[in-house]
Chains A and B, each alone.
Chain A
Amino acid sequence: MIFFSFATRNLRRHMVRSFLATLGIVIGVFAIASLGVMGNSINLLAAGLIADVGDTVVITPHTALGGEGFVGDPRTMVAATISEADVDRIERAAGGNPVVAVVEEAADLRVGNEGGYAQVIGLATDDIPDLLDLSEGNYLRPGSPAALVGSVLAEEYGIRAGSRIALGDEEMRVAGVLEERGFAFDINPDYAVVIERDRFREQFPEKKGYDYVVITVADPDEMEGVKAAVENLMNRRDETVDVTDSRESLNQVNEIYDAMGRFLLGIGAVSLVIAAVSILNVMIISVTERRHEIGVMRSIGALRGEVMRMFLYEALVLGIAGSLIGGALSFVGGYVISLAAIAVFTAGTTFAEGATVFDPLSVAYILGAMLFGVVTSVAAGVYPAWQAAQMTPIEALRG
């Protein structure tokens, strides 16, 4: 392929210039690919981290109006809870769907010589199996003084079913360890100790009411109805509670991730446009410089199409070189980014073990970006190549 070897020789003749033109493509491909990989890694991790949201409605106190003081008083925020009477009303509004009222408090946890602060969650014993899964041991029997321990906490302190722990001054036995749940919109037990609600009341006598109430809605179509009923009953006069549903919250989170991904891809696309302009520039210079040479080729029998092809090969070689370098860098970059994302997003959980650095979609992003780089480069070469082919031999020879 003499035209191809022509192209590569000419590019080699102007090493620095070719390298600079290639750099644009390298950056563009790298930007698109690694940003795509990053977005994808975050999405994947987020999808893994966020608990399988069932269809739950979560009711939290409307903090701004929770207590007596003026609106915004920080004490009212802390004090705001949902009363026993409120829970009864929510039960009525829930129309038969299971309602779980939750209390939480931070407490000093001791396991042997180690210890630290942990979240303590108080639940009615018969509500626990509805919300949480066990990985070992047993659930709590009614009136049991034992505890269930979240997976991350259990891992950190080496707690197993049958271990002994101390919460504040209370010594207790661990009945079971919970399944890892990830980030959820309702209850987050991974770093918590779950005890029976009556025991919780004994241990934290100053705590009144509930922190939040979870309604598990069996039929997704009932979701809106349940939300409206709760709103209607609780918030008719004053805004006393906030009602959110988990699916809606998840959608909001996903939308944020999607928007972020699009933004990152946009940046990559802009850098490819810049790359295209630099290739265009280099090719126009090349055509101008080689006017006379083009004239000679035409006069000894090169067809217009052949001249055009020669310049397109140049753009193609630039594009392929740039895309290969950019692609290789993105593989390295994507690997680092993925590792970093895993480290950041899974800190304190065991999800990192399952997270893959390269899933097929990430590889597809890189290959796609490379293809895009080549196409961009060739497209940028079309006009200069056409210009070279359009010159008449006499024009070219004189120039």
Chain B
Amino acid sequence: MNEPETIIRFVDVSKIYPLPAGDVVALDHVDLEIEAGEFVAVMGPSGSGKSTLLNLIGCLDTPSSGTLSIKGKDIGTLSDDDLTRLRRDHIGFIFQQFNLIPLLDVIENVEFPRVLKERRSGCDEACLELLDAVGLEPELHTHRPAELSGGQQQRVAIARALINEPEILLADEPTGNLDTKTGEGIMDLLTQMNRRGKTIIMVTHDTNIAAYAHRRVHLVDGRIA
């Protein structure tokens, strides 16, 4: 076995939202390292900065101070296009609201990130295998998101997050809108992806869900507790 490589490194990272009523400190001098292949659950009360942390890892936002390196790159120094490419090629997002694109059918939703990356469309083996792996029946492949249940939508969203074979999967309360049984199905899927080598960082309130992860990070008032 190789030495595990550090894929995400926070060094003294703060995130401050300036508001007219006063600055909101969402993350307060956070130091955190996550190694490739880890499965991390981020927990903490509402407003403690969990989503902020995840958005920084996902290159949707940049730190107010400190340095955050993803795959060795200091994201504070990257342009918007470079951040977008990093996100597109190395990071997969899974949202609480599923966030499929309503105008596209299941297949189109899944292949969309790959179209962005490789400028080619057309459903191929990889796409079908993924849909099979997340357990979506072939009859549903040409349905629009509005015609699917929450659990089915989240499976499609996971397939979409995986299509570009990213090293990192980010999930913000992926089971938050699902019943317990469906949620467990999704968690089994994530566990399986983690076994295949994906680094997973997942935000959750639910200790049962957090139990699937190897490591738990607790946030309180923007600080790691």
Complex interface: chain A residues within 8 A of B84 (CB):
298, 301-304
Query: Chain B residues near A300 (CB, 8 Å)?
Result: 87-88, 93, 112-113, 116, 160-161
B101 near A293: Cβ-Cβ < 8 Å: yes
A334 lies within 8 A of chain B by Cβ: no
A10 beta carbon closer than 8 Å to chain B: yes
Determine the chain A residues whose CB is within 8 A of the CB of B101 once the complex forms: 293, 296-297
CA distance A388 to B160 in the complex (A): 23
Interface membership of A263, Cβ < 8 A: no
CA distance in complex: A379, B164 (Å): 35
Digit string of B147-190 for contact with A (CB within 8 Å is 1, else 0)?
Answer: 00000000000001100100000000000000000000000000
Q: Is B85 an interface residue (CB 8 A)?
A: yes
Let me know if A16 is at the binding interface, CB within 8 A: no
Contact A301:B60 (CB < 8 A) given known A6-B103, A9-B103, A394-B55: no
Any A CB within 8 A of the CB of B115: yes
Q: Is the Cβ of A394 less than 8 Å from the Cβ of B61?
A: yes
Q: What residue of chain A has the Cβ atom nearest to residue B170's Cβ?
A: A299
| Contact-size category for A | 20 to 34
- List the A residue with the shortest CB-CB distance to B160: A300
A296 to B156, CA, bound (A): 14
In angstroms, Cα B224 to Cα A156, docked, is: 105
Compute how far the CA of A354 lies from the CA of B93 in the bound complex, rounded to whole angstroms.
71
Interface of A is mostly: helix
Report if A392-B112 is in contact (Cβ < 8 Å); known contacts: A13-B103, A300-B87, A301-B88: no
Knowing A2-B121, A9-B103, A296-B101 touch, does A301 contact B58 (C-beta < 8 A)?
A: no
Using Cβ atoms and an 8 Å threshold, which residues of chain A touch B113?
300-301
A319 within 8 Å of B by Cβ?
no
Q: Quick check: B102 and A293 within 8 Å, CB to CB?
A: yes
Q: Cβ of A306 < 8 Å from any Cβ of B?
A: yes
A150 part of interface (Cβ distance < 8 Å): no
Q: Which of A9, A13, A293, A300 has the most CB of B within 10 A?
A: A300
Q: Is A393 an interface residue (CB 8 A)?
A: yes
Q: How far is the CA of A304 from the CA of B84 in the complex (A)?
A: 9
Known A-B contacts A2-B121, A300-B87, A301-B113; A393 and B103 likewise in contact (beta carbons under 8 Å): no
Is residue B215 contacting chain A, with contact meaning CB distance below 8 A? no
17 pairs, A vs B, C-beta closer than 8 Å: A2-B112, A6-B103, A292-B99, A296-B99, A299-B87, A300-B88, A300-B116, A300-B160, A301-B85, A301-B89, A301-B117, A302-B88, A303-B116, A304-B81, A392-B60, A393-B60, A393-B61
For the complex of A and B, 3 pairs with smallest distance between CB atoms: A301-B88, A296-B99, A301-B116
Interface residues of B (CB under 8 A from A): 55, 58, 60-61, 80-81, 84-85, 87-89, 93, 95, 99, 101-103, 108, 112-113, 115-117, 121, 160-161, 164
11 further A-B contacts with Cβ under 8 Å, apart from A299-B58, A303-B116, A304-B84, are A2-B121, A10-B103, A299-B60, A301-B85, A301-B87, A301-B89, A301-B164, A302-B84, A302-B116, A392-B61, A394-B61
